[in-house]
Amino acid sequence: MKIAFIGLGNMGLPMAQNLARAGFAVAGFDLAAGQMDALAAVGGERADSAAAAVAGSDVVITMLPASRHVESTYLGEGGVLDYAAPGTLFIDCSTIAPDAARKVEAAAAARGFAMIDAPVSGGTGGAQAGTLTFMVGGAAADLDRARPLLEKMGRNIFHAGGSGAGQTVKVCNNMLLGILMAGTAEALRLGMANGMAPTVLSEIMAKSSGRNWVLEVYNPCPGVMDSAPSSRGYRGGFGVDLMLKDLGLAVENALSVGASVPVGALVRNLYDLHSKAGNGGLDFGSIFNLLGANSNSNAHA
Ligand code: NAD
């Protein structure tokens, strides 16, 4: 089976590498040429363009930043739908608006192609370890075709419902993640302003009712957890601008369906301020810095 993998960034590269290591023929394309070298280093193939990757492939996987990148890659003249062989299965793993997913899937279906939305959770660590969670929208038969590939990249594969349903779950999940990150950072800052060590605070809260994924594997305070991006200058990981995009998707989606997301909207604004202060490329745990050092000179360090 030949696979085209388009978008070899923080997530796409390790996912494509896992497929190549599992013995699949993977032709990768990214706008940044260096990413293709890293895929070639584990037996993948470099493609000169998205069209070249797609030609002759049985399955096309995309892992791109946002709705507009996915729409421009698939739709219109010169889009990948123009170059795919009959019977090709498309899997979009990017996090995009549910409406955009349905639009691209409808365009694929109109050309006779099967397509599923399969956004992921688990971060770059999960992408490297092949332990991602996939949230899939689309027909069950198409998920069955994709499953042998998804199993090489992830551990939990959920069929959320019809086209766009994977993206709906992903938007809900990431709104909650943004809220948990901001809330955890705020709680750590409060404890530290009382003179507490962040390691002590984290250890106790991780075994108490405030426990959550951020405290368990992604602590935003530098030095608490060696494996978290906070301990390497907030490099790599999940970018502030990607979290800002996802919180924007949640707010937009809430407007379109008439739901109220007051906490999600507040946290979106925090990430917006943080991005505008020049932090868009840092890991999203850097919101810890926005919440600031202690300003009370009478308190302990
Ligand atoms: P990234 O910015 O590291 O990677 C995106 C890659 O796409 C870049 O290498 C870029 O050069 C490439 N690209 C952009 N336009 C392209 C085009 N037209 N053709 C080919 N390549 C193109 O982003 P990422 O962290 O890998 O995230 C990708 C998607 O996965 C996003 O939708 C994000 O929200 C989602 N996601 C990320 C994480 C995470 O922890 N980083 C976790 C879950 C989901």
Instruction: Give CA angle at 74 (68, 80), nearest 5°.
Output: 145
The reply to whether 63 and 114 lie within a common domain is yes
- The residues, any chain, with a CB within 8 Å of residue 14's CB and separated by 6 or more, are 124, 127, 128
- CATH number for position 110: 3.40.50.720
- Rounded Cα distance between 161 and 63, Å, is 21
Output the pLDDT for position 296.
53
Ligand 1 atom with the smallest distance to the CA of 121 is 43
The reply to whether 14 and 93 lie within a common domain is yes
The reply to whether 152 and 9 lie within a common domain is yes
The reply to whether 103 and 214 lie within a common domain is no
Q: Phi/psi at 233 (nearest 5 deg)?
A: 65, 25
- CATH number for position 258: 1.10.1040.10
The reply to whether 91 and 193 lie within a common domain is no
Evaluate whether 222 touches 189 at the Cβ level (below 8 Å): no
Query: 39 is written with which tokens?
Result: 């895929």
The reply to whether 73 and 175 lie within a common domain is no
**pLDDT tens, residue by residue, 38-93:** 999 999 999 999 999 999 999 999 999 999 999 999 997 889 999 999 999 999 99
Q: Long-range contacts made by residues 213-217, C-beta under 8 angstroms, separation at least 24?
A: 213/177, 213/180, 214/177, 214/180, 214/181, 214/184, 214/285, 215/184, 217/125
Supply the residue whose CA is at minimum distance from atom 13 of ligand 1: 7
- Rounded Cα distance between 107 and 113, Å, is 9
Q: Report the number of distinct structural domains present in the chain.
A: 2
The reply to whether 154 and 14 lie within a common domain is yes
The residue with tokens 């279906």 is 109
Q: In this structure, how many other beta carbons lie within 10 angstroms of the beta carbon of residue 191?
A: 18
Q: In this structure, how many other beta carbons lie within 10 angstroms of the beta carbon of residue 34?
A: 9
Supply the residue whose CA is at minimum distance from atom 31 of ligand 1: 65
Output the pLDDT for position 78.
84
Output the pLDDT for position 297.
46
User: Which of 135, 162, 189 is the last residue in one of the domains?
Assistant: 162
Pocket lining: 65 vs ligand 1, CB cutoff 6 Å: yes
The reply to whether 95 and 152 lie within a common domain is yes
User: Which of 112, 129, 162 is the last residue in one of the domains?
Assistant: 162
Output the pLDDT for position 299.
44
DSSP 61-121: EE--SSHHHHHHHHSSTTSGGGTPPTT-EEEE-S---HHHHHHHHHHHHHTT-EEEE--EE
- Per the annotation, the verdict on 170 as an active-site residue is yes
Output the pLDDT for position 193.
96
Among the listed residues 103, 170, 207, 245, the single catalytic one is 170
- Rounded Cα distance between 1 and 19, Å, is 11
The reply to whether 106 and 255 lie within a common domain is no
Output the pLDDT for position 298.
45
CA of 6 relative to ligand 1 center, distance in Å: 10
Ligand 1 atom with the smallest distance to the CA of 246 is 34
Q: Which of 6, 13, 31 to mutate to test the pocket of ligand 1 (most atoms within 8 A of CB)?
A: 31
Output the pLDDT for position 76.
77
Output the pLDDT for position 295.
54
Give residue 240's domain range: 168-298
The reply to whether 90 and 138 lie within a common domain is yes
User: Which of 162, 190, 214 is the last residue in one of the domains?
Assistant: 162
Q: Which of 5, 6, 10 to mutate to test the pocket of ligand 1 (most atoms within 8 A of CB)?
A: 10
Which helix (H) or strand (E) segment holds residue 154: the answer is strand 154-161
> Helix and strand tally (H, E) in the chain?
13, 9
The reply to whether 279 and 219 lie within a common domain is yes
The reply to whether 154 and 179 lie within a common domain is no
Pocket lining: 100 vs ligand 1, CB cutoff 6 Å: no
| Per-residue pLDDT tens digits of the chain, which is 301 residues long | 999 999 999 999 999 999 999 999 999 999 999 999 999 999 999 999 999 999 999 999 999 999 999 999 999 788 999 999 999 999 999 999 999 999 999 999 999 999 999 999 998 889 999 999 999 999 999 999 999 999 999 999 999 999 999 999 999 999 999 999 999 999 999 999 999 999 999 999 999 999 999 999 999 999 999 999 999 999 989 999 999 999 999 999 999 999 999 999 999 999 999 999 999 999 999 999 999 865 554 444 4
- The residues, any chain, with a CB within 8 Å of residue 204's CB and separated by 6 or more, are none
Evaluate whether 231 touches 224 at the Cβ level (below 8 Å): yes
Evaluate whether 219 touches 283 at the Cβ level (below 8 Å): no
Ligand 1 atom with the smallest distance to the CA of 64 is 7
